[in-house]
Amino acid sequence: MTAFLTAALRTAVVPQGGAFAAFELHQLVAPLVAPCLAMGGIDPGEVDELILSNALGAGGNQARVAALAAGLPERVAGLTTDRQCAGGLDALGLAMALVASGQAQAVLAGGVESHSRRPLRFRTDPGGDPPRPYDRPPFTPWPDRDPDLAQAAADLGRRLGIGEDRQVAWAIDSHAKALAARPRLRAEILPLAGQLDDAFTRRLTPALAARAPKGPAGLTAATTAVAADAAALCLVVSPRLAARAPQALRLVGAATIGARPEDPALAPLAAIEAVFGRAGRRPANLAQAEIMEAYAIQAIACIEGAGLDPALVNPGGGALARGHPIAASGAILALRLFHDLRQGLGLAAIAAAGGLGSALLVEA
């Protein structure tokens, strides 16, 4: 059986400490449920599952909390996953598998993240010393193969010769495209706390980029996606339910592939190759691609490594102009395809810590 994407809706993406700073995770997700279902012509009683990715929360089944808060039937158990940056896109892959296998008819899938409300983390000491705070868990069992992501991107840029001028040019273009697309982007954003637009998008200039503070790896705030809060949901349904929807994209294939942990930025290349190979398609068949811009270096390297046409990539701007709500970012890539793609083939791809890459192919 084939699965279809028939609705997609998100909040605005707001930098950490902004308009969503007081929102719990379920408070970001629950308002999206009813309008997303209405967009796809689905009654809440027809929903079989809600799959949410979350990377920074305090644990628990956030999907279940969001399902109850949104008024979905109590039988909707909710499934919360964590695959870091790739999680939101992988949620759609899981939904696709459930529907294609006949185990579900309608699945809401996406991601939610709040950098603003992320809990303080402490590691206990078996020797009895006081607990020690930490910012992120290990992504490999080997510290020497678990680099800081910004440092890994900077090292990749030096290795591939992607200098600061190219990075800045890419970031300026991302913001310019996002500003130009702002009127149509509002069709995919549910206003919440007065936020109608992605709050970080600006008229970035070379002079403004030159004043951006540099991080420890030498990358600047202009060429690195900012930490952000947001939620995104997509509706994946069977052919029977897709027949009701005003718009439907066929989910052609999904792939998540592990690669070298030292080069997380290049991990999407294996996933892109796999999803094209399984579908018998080629990058030349694409009408649009949505590629994650956690770092300008990472986006440039993936686009060139996969042989994608830059003119088809992120026509409404990318994460450099939006921000990076970790577990929601992949779902936003798929959502962008849903709202933009009217004919042909679309690709969404994202990298994740630990050397993971995920890719999704859809067709109008």
Catalytic site residue 175? no
Contact partners, residue 200, CB within 8 Å, separation at least 6: 13, 14, 15, 226, 228, 321, 322, 323
Evaluate whether 7 touches 37 at the Cβ level (below 8 Å).
yes
Residues 84, 231, 266, 274, CA torsion sign: positive
What pairs with residue 110 in β-bridges?
Answer: 52, 233
Residue 36, helix vs strand vs coil = helix
Q: Is 234 a catalytic residue?
A: no
**Under a CB-based contact definition with an 8 Å cutoff, are residues 13 and 230 in contact?**
yes
170, two tokens: 């890419």
**DSSP letter string over 116-139?**
TTPPP-EE--TTSPPPEE-SS--S
Q: Which of 274, 242, 234 is nearest to 258 (CA)?
A: 274
Whole-number Å distance between alpha carbons of 91 and 195:
25
Active-site residue, from 26, 115, 175, 324 = 324
Q: Rounded to a whole number, what is the distance in angstroms from the first to the last CA of the chain?
A: 17
Pick the catalytic residue from 26, 36, 85, 234.
85
**In 1-86, where does DSSP find H-type helix?**
25-40, 62-69
Taking residue 24's Cβ as centre, other Cβ atoms within 10 Å add up to 17
Would you name the residues annotated as active-site residues?
85, 324
